[in-house]
Amino acid sequence: MTGNAPNQRPVISLGLSPVLVAVELLAAIAILLAVLLIVQFWAVLPDRIPIHFGVRGLADAWGDKVTIWIMPAVAAIIFAVLTAVSRYPHTFNYPVPITSENARRQYLLGRGLLVWLKAEICWLLAFVVRQQILVALGNAQRFSMELLLGLVVLMLGTVGVYLLKAYSAR
């Protein structure tokens, strides 16, 4: 870790900007959408659904259809944990030393990173549910690895933008 220990950093109360509130809502919508997709298609899903896809996007493992609930459950857990953790930005690891002068800006950036990543992860998991349903019902032959790659690149880009902003706000 760079800089002073988290217990020596200033503790600052931060609110969420309107943009971050909207991103939080988008994350919650992704979880809700995944649940609604499962509920909508539950009756027509076969007893066994794809639970793993190889690098070419073809299903290479199948399991009981109840396993489709794992993705929204994981998304909800990630949502809850990252929401709780984001309330304590003074405990995060930062790429730059935290001082009383830059603490507020760094904390806002760190919290923003968590909020954006949370939303991206929730949408990724909702996308996985959608793809599982499409393949299980025969409406798609394979998992869309291109879209998955795009989502992963988006997440890496989010981290990259954060790092650039964090270094420029030293």
For 18-58, the pLDDT digits (tens) are 999 999 999 999 999 999 999 999 999 999 999 999 989 99
Within a domain: 124: yes
List b or e across 74-113, with b for residues whose CB sees 16 or more CB atoms inside 10 angstroms.
Answer: bbbebbeebeeebeebbebebebebeeebbeebbbbbbbb
Residue whose tokens read 């760079």: 2
Question: What is the rounded CA–CA span in Å between residue 44 and residue 40?
Answer: 9
Q: Return mean pLDDT, the chain.
A: 93
* Mean pLDDT to the nearest integer, 144-165: 94
pLDDT at 1 over 50: no
- Evaluate whether residue 7 is within a structural domain: no
Which domain covers residue 47, as residue numbers? Answer: 16-168
pLDDT tens per residue, range 92-149: 999 999 998 999 999 999 999 999 999 999 999 999 999 999 999 999 999 888 988 9
Token pair 């760094």: residue? 106
The position carrying tokens 């988290």 is: 6
Inside any domain, residue 6: no
pLDDT bin (cut points 50, 70, 90) of residue 4 is: low
Q: For residue 71, is it within any domain? A: yes
**Domain contains 8:** no
Mean pLDDT within 156-167? 96
The domain tally of the chain equals 1
Per-residue model confidence (pLDDT) at position 148? 86
